[in-house]
Structure 1
Amino acid sequence: MSNKTLNKILGGSFMIEDLDYQQMVTPEDFTEEQRMIGETTQDYVNAEVLPRDEEIEKLNYDLTVDLLRKAGEVGLLGADVPEAYGGMGLDKVSTTIINEKLTKASSFALSFGAHVGIGTLPIVYFGTDTQKRKYLPQLATGELIAAYCLTEPSSGSDALGAKTTAKLSEDGTHYILNGTKQFITNANFADIFIVYAKVNGKDFSTFIVERTMEGVSIGPEEKKMGIKGSSTCPLILEDVKVPVENLLWEVGKGHLIAFNILNIGRFKLAAGCVGSSKDAIEYAAKYANERTQFGQKISSFPLIGKKLADMNIRTFALESMVYRTAGLFDVGLADVDHNSADVGYQSAKAIAEYQLECSINKVFGSETLDFVADEGVQIHGGYGFTQEYRIERIYRDARINRIFEGTNEINRLLIPGNLVKRAMKGELPLMQKAMALQKELMEPIPAFVGEGTLEQEAHLLAMSKKIFLMAGAQAVQKYQMKLEQEQEVLSHLADIMIAVYGMESALLRTKKQIERAGEAKSETYIDMTTTFVHEEFARIEALAKEVLSYMESGDTLRTQLSVLKKLTKRTAVNTLSLKRRIAAKVIEAEEYVL
């Protein structure tokens, strides 16, 4: 699907507007070229990385660097780098496919991701032409390896609380950097470090630091729970002289670079969670068909089947969300003029448009993978707790994702906070929609009558958006400027938004598939969407009740709960039977199914 056929969609607008499914990118839309990119990535992982997996897990730096360079030879490192600077300049859907397919490579996938994503993209989007020509061609081949240095011993989620300093020299030729960065992926073998420091102790700025610069040193490896094959060390900067030419963008603009690169990092993390979830389903389904108890395969037990169905359904929703978001990025970044003097500003604006969606993907993706990995271990029983089976590694490696790229708690606060800020700036008519809803809710709500395929699910999606507006408007009115202090309320509102994005992504993808292949050939899509929407809707109802009960009491609360009850009327669906049907297909295929 060409970017030209898609309209630009405002970030966060999905909460107040309905989207035509033709404006959404789905995995079924992949071009032949995109599918080939996926196959190339998978072939590379199978041939080069998996046979050396045990060596990588023992922290063989030389091997990791060698494998990164081989990835560069087949074009994988340069996917996000513009062609003018030695890369392939691929669209975001294509690079998302690469991210997803690489996850079988476990720890190596993290080394790869840190290099091509948060390590290289700051230069791609915010570097000068000179900086791009100096570094990007070598980053695209793996001749240089990159690392991203934001976190410090005393500042994790509070990135702007960094203590690393940069002082301009008296002759104005270089900055002198001092400080320590913590938990730096690729630190032990990286050549280039994207370092954040405060100029004169106050202006948060970004620098390209080279490993060979005097005063740069690396601390010891962290002993980690998972992702053991990736290098994670402190970066120590002692009077490091960094040429002024190595300042990225402008002094004081570091926060814009950091937050926008983190947005992409969050999105890429979610893409990786898609791949790992699919892997976990495959391992669990195969084991369930091999393991015999009480004289029969455990895959024949309904509770095992239900687990596999739930794993498949959540992965389907995540996959739908991730590629929908990749499509949004492609449209937004298509307008950026990479030859323009303000390419950094253009890029920052295009990326920031979807920061809310990136946080949604990150939270839902990391928690989906945790759920899928946990159920995978449970299906393996005692063997899932041993290193003999791959599911144990997936389980350990997955845990960091809820901490990486801003904890899920921080991201939950950002999601509704960002939406409200956009509304306050007049970028989204959120308050107008909320006021119109208040008038609508004063009138009797007609009973929903719809028996066609996914008609009730579309109705529940519409009601979910109204429930959010109702609860969200009440929170804004009650707390106003103090809303950010009500973290439980914000977290609940975030969870409703995450559920809505997931429901809508699954629903639109399935509608698109029905148009493409017909209902008969879309049965599993329909079953998964129906189940997911109904289960998420029940969660939304519970979340809204908790929020309303926290904010109000007495007659006011009774009135609001009465309105909520009207908005949550639905006909129950036999989800257990739907899950049995989905499970049967997963068990037969021994992998993620559609």
Structure 2
Amino acid sequence: MESTEKDILRGGQFLVKETNCEDIFTPEDFSEEQRMMKEAVTEFVDREIWPNKPRFEAKDYALTESCMRKAGEMGFLSISVPTEYGGMGMGFVDTMLVCDYISGATGSFSTAFGAHTGIGTMPITLYGTEEQKQKYVPKLATGEWFGSYCLTEPSAGSDANSGKTKAVLSEDGKSYKITGQKMWISNAGFCSLMIVFARIEDDKNITGFIVEYDKNNPNGITMGEEEHKLGIRASSTRQVFFNDTVVPFENMLSTRGNGFKIAMNALNVGRIKLAAACLDAQRRVISESVKYANERIQFNTPISSFGAIRQKIAEMATNCWVGETASYRAAKNIEDRIILRQNNGKDSHQEAELKGVEEYAIECSILKVAVSEYTQRCTDEGIQIFGGMGFSEDTPIESAWRDARIARIYEGTNEINRMLSIGMLIKKAMKGHVDLLGPATAVANELTGIPNFDVQDFSELFSEEKSIIANLKKLFLMVAGAALQKYGEKIEEEQQLMLAASDILIQIYIAESAILRAEKIAKKEGEANAKEQIAMAKLNLFHAIDVIETAGKHSIISFSTGDEQRMMLMGLKRYIKYVNMPNIIELRNIIASKIIKENKYCF
């Protein structure tokens, strides 16, 4: 049966609507074709990239370029490219899957792959004219050419629209001359094409251009030296200087002044794909850590039998699993929205994809923040499990830790994305796309009303956890509603409040996703066969409540006083309350035992 718009939650609606486990997509739902693709990508990484980690760490940029060409030959660069431009024309979930599993071995290759397929190729497929797409996309899809994305400048980072690079129209109107400086440009050392953003005259917004680059005929383009970076060492990263670089008029991307919109939409896609690109890195770190813990003998016993190590393994696995869960949930929502818009005949493929991703910009920001932070924790704990060896370049954990650090910075820093998620939610509410006012009013009435003292039946699997999730949503509405009432449109100036609110929002989305996936598995396989997944969902919720309690308390006491403050603090206590507190040590042992026995991450 075809999905209708009523069946698919709009972006941000997870906060005010209930979702059934049958309605979310999980990795257990991969088709046979998707499983084959996963195996092909994993085999490629194990053959071409993982054995060469020392060469990547030694800044072997030629190896990165060579592996990218091989990825092109395998078809991995063309997954999301429409078939009419030489691509495979596969769905959004497929592109997430490839991005996920191709990113497991090294951040250097992951960054090169993501920069090329995402922000290097995608702006042309989504915004280019038919002539531009026919000319450039087939070369990018095969790996004949590689793409880069020139947005950031010394004075324009998070404030991307403040760039000073200029584009001046020639007297005959046939070309533009671009002059300016760009920095942190991934793939700069081996690219043949750049997506460049520049300002025409005194336009309010920047404009995008497709700029060809030939080392033998540089056309006013010069490259800085390779940057020396903490991580992603074999990812070519250079400054790019433009000095009267001539660009044909027909190489303007989209329309004049539309560059900022192109940049923002490219970042939305980049954010969810960055989350995907952090997943297999975690799986591999966990597997390497468990193998080491099983082999490392101290006090005549493997360290994997020690409770302190088992706790780390369980927490690492839980974070990886819940991040994966939420990422594929959102990816399928985006895919369904794209298909729906196409089937309704409202949009072309490129318009449907643009609007489909834009619809879930909140979820994209949530995932970028959550999964990048899970990855940093995972690699940090991996070093701790390896002990002194983890600090050595002889083990893969040290480089994984360094590579993970950039994920919290690029595609918009996590601080920017936290504030964006709340800002976008408020805008959606104002447009009527997400009804926050009605539910927030109901929560306010509930707080001043007589509490319900009826004993609830929590005998069914996850019945209490689902009740808690519903209450956590009320908690968000209580805090956000009161803050909005006090600050109004100036709420975005209260950055610390925005950050706290986003922490609550992130935890709700991740925790709900995990509960629904575990429930779906249990219904299909039986609770006994899903005990580890059930344990991970419960463990994650327990931690989510801790984060939410802290963020909620800090928010409430910072903007309220007197009776209002006391009422909201009582509401906070009510909404985070367990009836049956889970045994956290038992949950961790269930998770760790399975991984230690399998000697790898196995979910």
TM-score, normalised to structure 2, is 0.95
8 Å contact kept, 2:64–2:109? yes
Trace 1:121-160 onto structure 2 (pairs within 5 A). 121-160=122-161
**What is the aligned partner in structure 2 of residue 497 from structure 1?**
505
| Cα 1:218/1:336, change in 2 over 3 Å | farther
Confirm or deny that 1:210 pairs with 2:219.
no
> What's the secondary structure of 1:275's corresponding residue?
helix
Distance in 2, matches of 1:30 and 1:2, equals 19
Determine which of 399, 404, 418 is the counterpart of 1:398.
Answer: 404
More off after superposition, 337-346 vs 277-286: 337-346
Residue 416 (structure 1) shift:
0.8
Confirm or deny that 1:590 pairs with 2:599.
yes
Residue 172 (structure 1) shift:
1.1
Determine which of 562, 576, 579 is the counterpart of 1:554.
Answer: 562
**What is the aligned partner in structure 2 of residue 322 from structure 1?**
327
Per-residue displacement from partner, 1:397-417 (whole Å, max 9, x unpaired)? 000000011000101110111
Distance in 1, matches of 2:285 and 2:432, equals 44
**What is the aligned partner in structure 2 of residue 542 from structure 1?**
550
Confirm or deny that 1:429 pairs with 2:438.
no
| Cα 1:201/1:217, change in 2 over 3 Å | farther
More off after superposition, 581-590 vs 355-364: 581-590
Trace 1:345-356 onto structure 2 (pairs within 5 A). 345-356=351-362
Distance in 1, matches of 2:585 and 2:201, equals 62
Per-residue displacement from partner, 1:426-445 (whole Å, max 9, x unpaired)? 11111121112212222223
Distance in 2, matches of 1:371 and 1:169, equals 52
Percent of residue pairs bearing the same amino acid type: 41
Determine which of 561, 568, 574 is the counterpart of 2:583.
Answer: 574
**What is the aligned partner in structure 1 of residue 530 from structure 2?**
522
Distance in 1, matches of 2:222 and 2:438, equals 55
Distance in 2, matches of 1:235 and 1:4, equals 46
Distance in 2, matches of 1:298 and 1:211, equals 54
Distance in 1, matches of 2:70 and 2:134, equals 21
**What is the aligned partner in structure 1 of residue 264 from structure 2?**
259
Determine which of 268, 293, 296 is the counterpart of 1:288.
Answer: 293
**What is the aligned partner in structure 2 of residue 69 from structure 1?**
69
Distance in 2, matches of 1:82 and 1:418, equals 30
**What is the aligned partner in structure 2 of residue 366 from structure 1?**
372
Residue 343 (structure 1) shift:
5.9
8 Å contact kept, 1:445–1:566? no
**What is the aligned partner in structure 2 of residue 12 from structure 1?**
12
> What's the secondary structure of 2:189's corresponding residue?
coil
Determine which of 231, 237, 240 is the counterpart of 1:235.
Answer: 240
8 Å contact kept, 1:163–1:201? no
8 Å contact kept, 2:475–2:571? no
Unpaired runs of 5+ residues, structure 1, are none
Residue 563 (structure 1) shift:
2.4
Distance in 1, matches of 2:570 and 2:63, equals 63
**What is the aligned partner in structure 1 of residue 385 from structure 2?**
379
8 Å contact kept, 2:230–2:402? yes
Per-residue displacement from partner, 1:244-291 (whole Å, max 9, x unpaired)? 111111111111110111011111110011111111110111111111
> What's the secondary structure of 1:445's corresponding residue?
coil
Residue 51 (structure 1) shift:
3.4
**What is the aligned partner in structure 1 of residue 336 from structure 2?**
331
Per-residue displacement from partner, 1:455-499 (whole Å, max 9, x unpaired)? 111011000000000000001000112101111110010000000
> What's the secondary structure of 1:591's corresponding residue?
coil
8 Å contact kept, 1:366–1:402? yes
**What is the aligned partner in structure 2 of residue 48 from structure 1?**
48
| Cα 1:251/1:341, change in 2 over 3 Å | farther
Question: Which amino acid letter does the alignment assign opposite residue 205 of structure 1?
Answer: T
Aligned residues: CA RMSD? 1.9
| Cα 1:372/1:56, change in 2 over 3 Å | closer
8 Å contact kept, 2:12–2:425? yes
**What is the aligned partner in structure 2 of residue 248 from structure 1?**
253
8 Å contact kept, 1:503–1:536? yes
Residue 337 (structure 1) shift:
5.3
Distance in 1, matches of 2:315 and 2:127, equals 42
Question: Which amino acid letter does the alignment assign opposite residue 243 of structure 1?
Answer: P
Per-residue displacement from partner, 1:88-115 (whole Å, max 9, x unpaired)? 0111111111111112331112111111
8 Å contact kept, 2:3–2:340? no
Per-residue displacement from partner, 1:183-207 (whole Å, max 9, x unpaired)? 0000011001011111114231111
**What is the aligned partner in structure 2 of residue 112 from structure 1?**
113
> What's the secondary structure of 1:70's corresponding residue?
helix
8 Å contact kept, 1:6–1:331? no
| Cα 1:215/1:548, change in 2 over 3 Å | same
User: How many corresponding residue pairs?
Assistant: 594
Distance in 1, matches of 2:571 and 2:270, equals 40
Residue 342 (structure 1) shift:
6.6
**What is the aligned partner in structure 2 of residue 166 from structure 1?**
167
Distance in 1, matches of 2:69 and 2:3, equals 31
Per-residue displacement from partner, 1:14-33 (whole Å, max 9, x unpaired)? 11111122221100000000
Residue 128 (structure 1) shift:
1.0
Question: Which amino acid letter does the alignment assign opposite residue 534 of structure 1?
Answer: F
Distance in 2, matches of 1:499 and 1:163, equals 38
Question: Which amino acid letter does the alignment assign opposite residue 396 of structure 1?
Answer: R
Question: Which amino acid letter does the alignment assign opposite residue 360 of structure 1?
Answer: I
Distance in 1, matches of 2:337 and 2:173, equals 37
Distance in 2, matches of 1:533 and 1:268, equals 24
Distance in 1, matches of 2:101 and 2:19, equals 28
Residue 340 (structure 1) shift:
9.2
Distance in 2, matches of 1:538 and 1:446, equals 24
Residue 346 (structure 1) shift:
4.3
Question: Which amino acid letter does the alignment assign opposite residue 14 of structure 1?
Answer: F
8 Å contact kept, 2:418–2:503? yes
